[in-house]
Amino acid sequence: FTVLAVESSADDTCAAVVTSDRQILSNVVVRQDNYHESFGGIHPYVAIKAHQRNMPNAVKKALEEANLAVSDVDGVAFTQGPGIAGCLSVGANAAKTLAAALNKPLVGVHHMQAHALTPFLTTPTEELPQYPFLTLLISGGHTLLLLATSPRTFRTLATTVDESIGRVFDKVSRMLSLPWNTHGPGAALEAFVKFGPPAEQLVAHAEGQIEAPEFSIPMRGRLAFSYTGPHSAVERFLHARGGIVNDTTRYEIASRFQRAAVGQLEEKLALGLEACRQKDTQIRHLVVSGGVASNLFLRERLRVCLDKASPNVHISLVFPPPSLCTDNAVMIAWASMSRFLNGDTDDYTIDLRSKWSIEELDSSGPDFLE
Ligand code: ATP
Ligand code: FE
């Protein structure tokens, strides 16, 4: 079964072709980062216009790269939500029109479920996650620690009380004016910390002249995330210096911020595992997905964290490859696959769901935290 999928929930215009035997035939992502640079976030009107401009060619390219005619497609999938309503509608209209014109079935997909299920496409079959597993979905719009008991059944253990980790990575990166990176400002921050400032500037470190904000773990001991604290700590620090800091200081801020942002995930993850243990829920896998999961420093830290939090029982860490952590239509195609195969498809009149909790996919599941 061959699915053509489109995704346009935020600022990337994506189209892809994936088959039921787990082949990714194409994966087209048209980024629009630079359009939003001056707004300090995604500007909906700008994003909608860019999706409208880019979607037709993204679909055309996805078919070309897959070496398929549109008539070879067996089903069309799209992101039904959550996301920016106007952005979602561009992908939805493209998908509905294609499906109707081709007289093929249509499936609307939950964007976060798609992030969570990506590893089922990219992991070798003998290493696939087993239910129940924990999943950490860390992206531009979400910071979620979930318990997954089936492909549609997710319960929230922790979510952010304010901003998302990805958005704050972007904001701190922009505040520090870090070098432009094709993968966006969050990835620019990771690269800046990894490669550091020129060696001669590090002399200042040796002489103990380190200047940078201190970060602490918010709501320690509670199953909740908060990223406004680290965000405003950087903002205050820079503001007090009129925004002018040298490269060594920028390096120190970026690296401490990254450590704190990940440190918070580690603390909450350990709490989540403890909560599962208390409920006699055996966890053997942690699935980490969403744009921030492409961060390699984070991948290393989470491995160490799992070994420490669960010394006697090995918990496998599962990540999609970095390129499938950020938004893409491959994950939308894959999340739709079982529904196509089961004949559980949507009407062409299906509505968008701009706000849509992942728990609502299957509300009959047990309430873990009760
Ligand atoms: P959501 O999935 O919640 O709707 P989104 O689709 O906008 O939000 P994604 O594309 O999944 O988000 O992820 C984008 C986010 O990932 C951005 O905020 C970006 O900063 C972050 N990100 C990408 N690469 C890295 C990296 N290497 N390190 C840290 N953050 C990163
Ligand atoms: Fe996303």
Reported as a single tens digit per residue, the pLDDT across 292-345 is 999 999 999 999 999 999 999 999 999 999 999 999 999 999 999 999 999 999
Whether the pLDDT of residue 33 is over 70: the answer is: no
Show the tokens assigned to 345: 């498809």
Q: Is the ipTM of this complex over 0.95?
A: yes
Alpha-helical (H) ranges within the chain are 33-36, 44-66, 85-102, 111-117, 119-122, 165-175, 185-195, 203-206, 228-240, 247-278, 296-309, 330-341
Residue type, 1: F
Distance between Cα 11 and ligand 1 center (Å): 11
Q: Which residue has the higher pLDDT, 91 or 208?
A: 91
Distance between Cα 368 and ligand 2 center (Å): 25
State how beta strands 316-318 and 285-289 pair.
parallel
pLDDT at 209: 65
Whether the pLDDT of residue 207 is over 70: the answer is: no
Q: Best substitution site from 27, 80, 139 to test ligand 1's pocket, by max atoms within 8 Å of Cβ?
A: 139
Whether the pLDDT of residue 198 is over 70: the answer is: no
Average the pLDDT over 89-111 and give the result: 98
Ligand 1 contacts (CB < 6 A) are 9-10, 83, 111, 115, 139-142, 166-167, 169-170, 183-187, 190, 290-292, 294-295, 326-327
* 3 state SS for 187-241: HHHHHHHHHCCCHHHHHHHHCCCCCCCCCCCCCCCCCCECCHHHHHHHHHHHHHC
Q: Which residue has the higher pLDDT, 38 or 237?
A: 237
Query: What is the DSSP secondary structure assignment for residue 68, as one 8-state letter?
Result: -
* CA distance linking residue 180 with residue 29, whole number of Å: 18
Summarize pLDDT for 121-180 with one digit per residue, the tens.
999 999 999 999 999 999 999 999 999 999 999 999 999 999 999 999 999 999 999 988
pLDDT at 179: 84
Helix, strand, or coil here: 286?
A: strand
* Percent with pLDDT over 90 in the chain: 84
The ligand minimizing its distance to the Cα of 325 is 1
Burial label, 183 (beta-carbon count in 10 A; 0-12, 13-18, 19+) = middle
Whether the pLDDT of residue 205 is over 60: the answer is: no
User: Ligand 1: which atom is nearest the Cα of residue 82?
Assistant: 4
Summarize pLDDT for 221-252 with one digit per residue, the tens.
999 999 999 999 999 999 998 888 888 899 99
At residue 366 the predicted structure's pLDDT band, cuts being 50, 70 and 90, is: low
